[in-house]
């Protein structure tokens, strides 16, 4: 026997509404946030070459989940999505912050594509992450 | 007579919690998943169909790339693209019939993508449903709750990914969907959201690749501006550079990214 639930938007009949007009229906899955939170990183000193891990957040799901990460750039007062392409030292694009997730951890990292080292200090980021129960691979 | 239903997350009083502390409220919608699954890019130099959705309208979608470290990242968040392509985001596009991967250049082969196609229409405006944006202190946790499982799964034993919803977990509730056309060559696009905090948001734009399809927009472009999308406590901004007039969609969720 099939059970289920449908909830329509206010003013719409749940019995006849198209799926896109429903608030939820047990026929269609939705993203569920397993964990979300913020983590910060302050750059100091001279930038390294290559990749540097800025934060590691454990989720321990045992599979790769869908994850999105946003950031706040304190220096430039900007909220946006990772990846973030920027330039500490001037002279053109070559640095970015991004993230990736495996079956255990979410990793936020910095990477430089080379060029003369710039000065990181002071440069602060706060990251907001959403780790879903739903698969990301 | 208007009926309605709202369920708060565990530990919050549904009568006075903030919108984003609810699991759902019948005054606004959540994104509902029409399809989810893996796609492996073929070697063919062509536009490859990932999924034929048959909805008759272009739906919202998200895609996650398995990178060379066998880790996953939202395709608009991928930076170090393969084969000289700066971002996977613009390669994955949708129209009213299908979601596709654009391998016209023939430089991808075997790349693995996990896609979500949602039921909800990408260019159907939803008026801002602002009700309450200030968080409340935790109410009595009480041990009340609601769980709805996927068809065929026992709600009493299902794990998180096999539940449609649970009061233990937050959901992505839609605050607004704003759509229209904008001449980006004349300046950036600013859209007010009125939440009073920077929210979780995504921009989509149509026809940037001259094929009428929609793509998701991130900051992964290697051409200026580096900060293509951003949010503040009052508005979201899209800066596509001098691409002329394009259709856009902004979806704003109730969750603060602060």
Q: What is the CATH number of the domain that holds B71?
A: 2.60.40
Binning chain A into helix, strand and coil, the percentages to the nearest 5 are 0, 55, 45
What average pLDDT is seen over chain B? 88
Sign of CA dihedral B204, B71, B81, A79: positive
Query: Are residues B152 and B91 located together in one domain of the fold?
Result: no
Q: Where are the strands (E) in B103-161, listed by range?
A: 112-121, 147-149
Please name the residue of chain A whose CA is at the shortest distance from the CA of residue B258: A128
Query: Are residues B74 and B98 located together in one domain of the fold?
Result: yes
Query: Are residues B84 and B46 located together in one domain of the fold?
Result: yes
The domain in which residue B133 lies consists of 1-29+126-171
Query: Are residues B146 and B104 located together in one domain of the fold?
Result: no
Q: Where are the strands (E) in A21-94, listed by range?
A: 22-25, 32-43, 50-58, 65-73, 78-81, 84-86
Does B74 lie at the interface with A, CB-CB under 8 angstroms? yes
- What are the CA-CA distances from residue B231 to residues A72, A78, A79, B99 (Å)? 10, 7, 5, 27
- Residue that terminates a domain, selected from B121, B136, B154: B121
Structure tokens given for B171: 């959901």
Under an 8 A CB cutoff, do A34 and B160 touch? yes
Query: Are residues B220 and B149 located together in one domain of the fold?
Result: no
Interface confidence (ipTM) of the complex: 0.92
Query: Are residues B78 and B47 located together in one domain of the fold?
Result: yes
Query: Are residues B23 and B133 located together in one domain of the fold?
Result: yes
pTM above 0.95, yes or no: no
Task: Check: CB of residue B89 under 8 Å from CB of residue B113.
Answer: no
In chain A, the domains with their CATH numbers are 1-29 (no CATH), 31-135 (2.60.40)
Per-residue pLDDT tens digits for B188-198? 999 999 999 99
Please name the residue of chain A whose CA is at the shortest distance from the CA of residue B31: A30
Quick one: pLDDT band at residue B248, thresholds 50, 70, 90? very high
Domain count of chain B? 3
Interface test with A, best of B9, B217, B219 (most A CBs within 10 A): B219
Under 8 Å CB pairs connecting chains A and B tally to 201
Out of B5, B76, B79, the one facing A96 most closely (by C-beta) is: B79
With beta carbons under 8 A apart, name residues in chain B contacting A98.
73, 77-80
Under an 8 A CB cutoff, do A137 and B114 touch? yes
Per-residue pLDDT tens digits for B19-51? 998 998 888 889 999 999 999 999 999 999 999
Does B216 lie at the interface with A, CB-CB under 8 angstroms? no
Out of B31, B149, B218, the one facing A31 most closely (by C-beta) is: B31
Query: Are residues B9 and B42 located together in one domain of the fold?
Result: no
Quick one: pLDDT band at residue B225, thresholds 50, 70, 90? low
Under an 8 A CB cutoff, do B169 and A100 touch? no
Query: Are residues B113 and B131 located together in one domain of the fold?
Result: no
- Residue that terminates a domain, selected from B171, B200, B234: B171
Query: Are residues B61 and B102 located together in one domain of the fold?
Result: yes
Across A128-137, average pLDDT:
95
Scanning A30-69 for CB atoms below 8 A from B yields 30-34, 36, 38, 64-69
Residue B256 predicted with pLDDT over 80? yes
Interface test with A, best of B1, B10, B26, B54 (most A CBs within 10 A): B26
- Residue that terminates a domain, selected from B121, B153, B188: B121
Query: Are residues B187 and B250 located together in one domain of the fold?
Result: yes
Under an 8 A CB cutoff, do A133 and B116 touch? no
Q: What is the spatial distance between Cα B176 and Cα B255, in angstroms, rounded to a whole number? A: 12
With beta carbons under 8 A apart, name residues in chain A contacting B232.
79
Query: Are residues B181 and B133 located together in one domain of the fold?
Result: no
């Amino acid at each position: 026997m099939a059970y289920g639930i449908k909830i329509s938007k206010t003013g719409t009949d749940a019995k006849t509404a198209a799926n896109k007009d429903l608030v939820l229906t047990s026929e269609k899955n939705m993203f569920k946030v397993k964990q979300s939170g913020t983590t910060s990183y302050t750059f100091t000193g001279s930038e390294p070459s290559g990749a540097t891990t800025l934060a590691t957040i454990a989720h321990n799901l045992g599979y790769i989940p869908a994850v999105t990460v946003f950031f706040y750039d304190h220096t430039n007062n900007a909220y946006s999505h990772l990846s973030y392409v920027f330039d500490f030292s001037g002279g053109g694009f070559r640095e970015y912050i991004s993230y990736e997730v495996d079956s255990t951890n979410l990793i936020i990292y910095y990477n430089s594509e080379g060029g003369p080292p710039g000065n990181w200090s002071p440069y602060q980021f706060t990251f907001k992450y959403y780790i879903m129960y739903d698969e990301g691979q | 007579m208007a009926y309605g239903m709202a369920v708060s997350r565990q530990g919050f009083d549904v009568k006075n919690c903030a919108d984003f502390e609810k699991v759902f409220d019948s005054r606004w919608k959540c994104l509902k998943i029409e399809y989810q699954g893996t796609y492996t890019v073929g070697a063919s130099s062509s536009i490859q169909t990932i999924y034929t959705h048959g909805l008759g309208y272009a739906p919202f979608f998200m895609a996650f790339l398995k990178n060379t470290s066998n880790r996953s990242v939202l395709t608009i968040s991928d930076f170090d693209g393969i084969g000289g392509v700066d971002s996977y985001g613009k390669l994955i596009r949708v129209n009213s019939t299908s979601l596709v991967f654009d391998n016209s250049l023939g430089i991808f082969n075997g790349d693995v993508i996990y896609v979500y196609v949602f039921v909800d229409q990408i260019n159907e405006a939803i008026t801002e449903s602002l009700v309450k944006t200030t968080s409340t202190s935790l109410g009595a946790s009480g041990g009340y709750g609601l769980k709805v499982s996927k068809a065929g799964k026992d709600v009493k034993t299902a794990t998180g990914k096999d539940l449609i919803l649970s009061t233990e977990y937050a959901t992505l509730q839609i605050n607004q969907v704003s759509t229209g056309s904008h001449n980006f060559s004349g300046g950036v696009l600013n859209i007010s959201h009125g939440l009073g905090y920077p929210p979780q948001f995504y921009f989509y734009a149509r026809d940037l690749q001259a094929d009428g399809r929609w793509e998701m927009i991130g900051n992964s472009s290697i051409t200026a501006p580096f900060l293509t999308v951003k949010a503040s406590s009052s508005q979201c901004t899209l800066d596509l550079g001098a691409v002329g007039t394009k259709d856009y969609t902004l979806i704003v969720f109730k969750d603060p990214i602060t």
